[in-house]
Amino acid sequence: MKRTFITIKDIARELSISASTVSRALKDHPDISQETKDRVVAYAREMGYQPNSIALSLKSRQSHVIGLIVPEIVHHFFSSVISGIDEVASKAGYNVIISQSNESFEREIHNTRTLLGSRVDGMLISRTKETVDYDHFRHIDAAGVPMVFFDRTCEGVNADNVIIDDKKAAFDATEYLINTGCKKIVHLKGPENLTISHQRLTGYRQALEKHAIPYKSAYVIEADNYEKGVNAVRRLLSEHNLPDAIFTVNDLTALGAISALKEGGIKIPDQVSVVGFTNGVISRLSDPPLTTIEQNGFLMGEKAAKLLLERINNEEELPSRTEVIPTKLIVRKSTY
């Protein structure tokens, strides 16, 4: 299977003109006579000439490629982000090279090296949970390649960040529960070592505080996946410690909670309201449909790509910016 790409030289030889004339004719340069242009364009089209962007990249020192590193592709949130990135990038004439770190620090480092070798014009990164050392990112910056972090930021690295306001989102969710009459609100929180867990917990506490509801540590339980959600709620039920609302760190955990509640014969939302976080596909389709926080991954991807393109196309050093993607409470049938 051998490649058969026609080049500018081929066209030049065939039409007995020089390569530079062909090049100019192809880009409608004013110096070239209409007749020559017509001949060149006609022949190029006939032969299906496709400019070699590798040669262009080498010449212009611009690859028109954006490097992307995500922890996992198979994840509704991240794939939404990727989709948003692709949308903006392709419109601007950029290609996207994708790579996943699989939450492995080693792989993340390897990915940055590869992308640097590919001379990507910029990188979009969501770091792994493991990543605590940012030298590889500083190295990218030192090479003069702009970066934008999304969802998971890196303090102290010269780059833009795109995040959501976790604290406010959690506050909104909790306040909504309070406003619909709930007083005993359990929070199923995320792992200690993630910033989002803290932020969301803080938003929850602030809402309670505002409405003079005492904070009870027994009502905050670590659970961030389906199974843990099931177990946490089963325990509450067995202790006859039924709350009137549950606010979870993500949708899957909420579904686990709902499953355990149903199992215990508890009516949702009549006896217990449930609010999730993310607004993934599943939240719309669960039974009952889940009230949740919309965390717009597509928008985050679009925004991150736009910030990156701005940086790429700006000669001057821009100051580090942090963009906050708005969230929204989506009320469905798991609450009043």
Partner DNA sequence: ATGAAAGCGCTAACAA
Partner DNA sequence: TTGTTAGCGCTTTCAT
Enumerate binding residues for DNA (CB under 7 A). Answer: 5, 7-9, 16-21, 23-24, 26-27, 30-33, 35-36, 51-52, 55-56, 58-61
Contact partner at residue 18 from a copy of itself, DNA, none, CB < 5 to 8 Å by partner kind:
DNA
> Under a CB-based contact definition with an 8 Å cutoff, are residues 8 and 23 in contact?
yes
Alpha carbons 274 and 246: distance in angstroms, whole number: 5
Alpha carbons 244 and 129: distance in angstroms, whole number: 33
Q: Which of 45, 46, 61, 238 binds a copy of itself (CB under 8 A)?
A: 61
Contact partner at residue 72 from a copy of itself, DNA, none, CB < 5 to 8 Å by partner kind:
a copy of itself
Segment contacting a copy of itself (CB under 8 A): 28-36, 144-152, 167-175, 319-327?
144-152
Q: Which of 28, 31, 46, 285 binds a copy of itself (CB under 8 A)?
A: 285
Q: Which of 178, 226, 324, 329 binds a copy of itself (CB under 8 A)?
A: 226
110-126 CB burial, b ≥16 within 10 A, e <16: ebbeebbeeebbbbbbb
Q: Which of 100, 253, 291, 334 binds a copy of itself (CB under 8 A)?
A: 100
Residue type present at position 125: I
Alpha carbons 306 and 223: distance in angstroms, whole number: 35
- 47 binding a copy of itself? (CB under 8 A): no
- 80 binding a copy of itself? (CB under 8 A): yes
* Encoded tokens for 179: 């406003």
> Under a CB-based contact definition with an 8 Å cutoff, are residues 240 and 178 in contact?
no
Q: Label residue 299 exposed, middle or buried (CB < 10 Å: 0-12, 13-18, 19+).
A: middle
For strands 328-330 and 292-294, give the pairing: antiparallel
Handedness of CA 301, 303, 306, 311 (dihedral sign): negative
Contact partner at residue 21 from a copy of itself, DNA, none, CB < 5 to 8 Å by partner kind:
DNA
State which residue, 30 or 93, has the beta carbon closest to DNA. Answer: 30
Residue 162 C-beta: closest distance to a copy of itself, Å = 18
Going from the C-alpha of 242 to that of each of 205, 321, 331, the distances in angstroms are: 19, 44, 22
Binding site for a copy of itself (CB under 8 A): 1-5, 48, 50-55, 57-58, 61, 63, 65, 72-76, 79-80, 82-83, 86, 90, 95-100, 111, 113-114, 116-119, 139, 142-146, 226, 252, 255, 259, 262, 281-282, 285-287, 298, 311-312, 314-318
